[in-house]
Amino acid sequence: MSNVHSQSLDFFMGALSPKGGFRGYFSHLNQQPDLWLYLIKAGPGCGKSTLMAKLAEKSPLPVERIHCSSDPDSLDGVIFPHKQAAILDATAPHVVEPDYPGAKQTVVNLFDTLSEATLYENRQQIRTLFDTCSALQKKANRCIRCASLLLEEMHNLVRPALDNQKLLGYVQRLGHRLLPPTDGTPVEHLRLLSAVTPKGELCWKNTVSAIANHVVVFEDCHGVAARMAMEQLRQQALHAGYEIYTCICPLSPEESPEHILIPALHLAFVTSNHWHPMEFTGQQTIHCTRFFEKEQVSRHKNQLRLCQKAVDELLAQTSLYQRQAKENHDKLEAFYRSAANFEAVNAITQQVEKKIGL
């Protein structure tokens, strides 16, 4: 990871997936040969997010904050580009195992800071809360799957009206103008810029502003044209030798790119739609309606409107289930906090801080 940012960035690296369950991209960090990983293994409520937040605050240079989609106020990880290091919550559901322990990864064990006797005394309530959280997340996931199916139905309705040749020709010319070739080695970082959370649909627009002073916005209420454009721009940017952030659409079963961020050029290509409208000072806006045969699309306007309304309701229900899961998780964390030795956690935090060199 060669790029060092002038401002800290916020991302997600996992979310509920329409394919079923949690889909994360944490393992991609394991594939970066020069990135040393600190993998936290612990239960809930024993200081993982606080530990990572303290390290992020100690960093003299900007970092990447990886937020938890089930609780955006908590961290799932912090990446320190200037130190070639990252620390992650490596417990379920975003499990990361050390492939080369001691040679590329360090396991940060917080289980030893817990009093098993205290947890055992409350075992029945703890098991009930774990099971309740799991059941609520499964309900949320079913809503996500249904919403994704309806979005695909919307795509199927408008796809025949899209002039593919006109769109791809325009995007290729745009890429040729904005993505001059380099001698660099292409590098791709997979992230999520948005996710459905207990707070609703949340998008880290501040990250776009931190990276780019030139933002190209594809305004696409249906998503078909922007999806195709982003895939084309992704390939062009990598072919030209850039280090890029490819931000995946969390509702796409095909893991389609939704935004492309290119720090070296201070450039971003982003998708704007009903669920995450994008607006930036001085942006270049591309209205994707220009690539569609309008009469064909208008034939389906009633179906499209009904689908969009149903997706809105499903995503609202997803957030509700996630809020309920978080309420139960907060109760679960209270049991683990009562069993945690936070002096030991603080000592471990200081050890990791020293190892990273902050």
Q: Per residue in 298-314, pLDDT tens?
A: 999 999 999 999 999 99
Pick from 188, 192, 207: nearest CA to 12: 192
242: CB partners within 8 A, 6+ apart: 179, 182, 184, 186, 187, 262, 264, 265
On whether the CB atoms of residues 304 and 222 are closer than 8 A, the answer is yes
Pick from 187, 139, 133: nearest CA to 326: 133
- Round to whole Å and give the CA distance between 259 and 229: 10
Confidence of residue 2 (pLDDT cuts 50, 70, 90): low
pLDDT tens digits along 96-127? 889 888 999 999 999 999 999 999 999 999 99
**Considering just the CA atoms, what is the radius of gyration of the chain in Å?**
22
Confidence of residue 21 (pLDDT cuts 50, 70, 90): confident
Pick from 76, 83, 90: nearest CA to 39: 90
Looking at residue 92, its pLDDT comes to 86
Does 205 score more than 90 pLDDT? yes
Q: How far is CA 41 from the centre of its chain?
A: 21
Does 264 score more than 80 pLDDT? yes
Indicate the SS3 state at residue 162: strand
Selected residue with higher pLDDT from 94 and 45: 45
For residues 180-190, one letter each, b for 16 or more C-beta atoms within 10 angstroms of the residue's C-beta and e for the rest, the string is eeeeeeeeebb
- Round to whole Å and give the CA distance between 251 and 26: 18
Burial category of 103 from C-beta neighbours within 10 Å (exposed 0-12, middle 13-18, buried 19 and up): exposed
Does 192 score more than 60 pLDDT? yes
Mean pLDDT, the chain, as a whole number? 95
pTM of the predicted structure, to 2 decimals: 0.95
On whether the CB atoms of residues 231 and 256 are closer than 8 A, the answer is yes
In which element (H, E) is residue 237 found?
Answer: helix 224-239
- Round to whole Å and give the CA distance between 240 and 332: 49
pLDDT tens digits along 164-176? 999 999 999 999 9
Per-domain residue ranges for the chain? 9-114+340-356, 163-291
Does 141 score more than 70 pLDDT? yes
On whether the CB atoms of residues 215 and 271 are closer than 8 A, the answer is no
Looking at residue 3, its pLDDT comes to 57
